[in-house]
Copies of this chain bind each other. A is one copy, B any other.
Amino acid sequence: MSQHRPGGPNGRAGGVPALPDLPEATVARLPEYLRALHNLAEAGNDTVSSEELAGAAGVNSAKLRKDLSHLGSYGTRGVGYDVALLIDQIEFTLGLTQRRGVALVGVGNLGHALAGYAGFASRGFRIAALFDADPARVGELINGLHVRHISDLADVAVAESIAIGVIATPAASAQDVADALVAAGVTSILNFAPCVLSVPDGVDVRKVDLAVELQILSFHEHRKSSLTALPGGLGGGPAGLVSAAEPEEAVGT
């Protein structure tokens, strides 16, 4: 089986890697498909229909088929997708066949949680180094790794082949850490600090802001409660608690 060559029309022969520039939304869904496929494989399934796989990944099946067509995977009518082959194709596309090294900077509460997160190892990554700026933290042993001082970043990044930097520092330090990561040659950053980072072209940053996620949910809560607050608009769902959670607002008075 071709583990490093996705088949289909995108799999070009010759010296050029067959890695299309996928839509960002497709890239974001591939990990969901991959997890669902691993679960199916563990349960002993050799093939899966697009409907089943879409259901397990929480998307509609037309979107799934379109996403997978970008990889050159179309399945077989009446049979579905070959589970093992599709796992290979997605892992190749996501570059997960090489177990990328991750450096984590900032070992406060969140950093500790991230350093101990078993899901990284099982899904293609190895936490290769931990850093902190606080000398009192340096040397601490977390999940088998000693915390290094941030000033060692450049040396360690090369020695450990760091591909991705994770920033779990306070916002005030995050830009300095990002600059240090970039100077050390790291071109992908996952930022948990609540701030916007400036990075040069060619460096990818993804941001996870926990309070932002809650604020987005808050918008939907607010919207739902404004609908149920309409005269006669209490139908649908457990409106009792929504009312309790949503004290009367001074709208329209």
User: In the bound complex, what is the Cα–Cα distance between A245 and B114 (angstroms)?
Assistant: 22
Q: Which residues of B contact A34 (CB under 8 A)?
A: 215
- Count A interface residues, CB 8 Å: 105
- Is the Cβ of A14 less than 8 Å from the Cβ of B95? no
Report the minimal beta-carbon distance from A22 to chain B, rounded to whole angstroms: 7
- Is the Cβ of B251 less than 8 Å from the Cβ of A18? yes
* A167-210 near B? 1/0 per residue, CB < 8 Å: 00000000000000010111111100011100011111010111
Q: Which residues of B contact A98 (CB under 8 A)?
A: 246-247, 249
- Is the Cβ of B27 less than 8 Å from the Cβ of A221? no
User: In the bound complex, what is the Cα–Cα distance between A113 and B163 (angstroms)?
Assistant: 25
In this assembly, does A158 line the interface, its C-beta being within 8 Å of a C-beta of chain B? Answer: yes
User: In the bound complex, what is the Cα–Cα distance between A5 and B253 (angstroms)?
Assistant: 10
In this assembly, does A13 line the interface, its C-beta being within 8 Å of a C-beta of chain B? Answer: yes
Please name 4 further chain A to chain B contacts, defined as beta carbons within 8 Å, in addition to the given A95-B223, A124-B215, sorted by A numbering. A94-B216, A100-B214, A124-B218, A185-B242
Give 4 nearest A-B pairs by CB, closest first: A95-B222, A185-B241, A17-B226, A58-B196
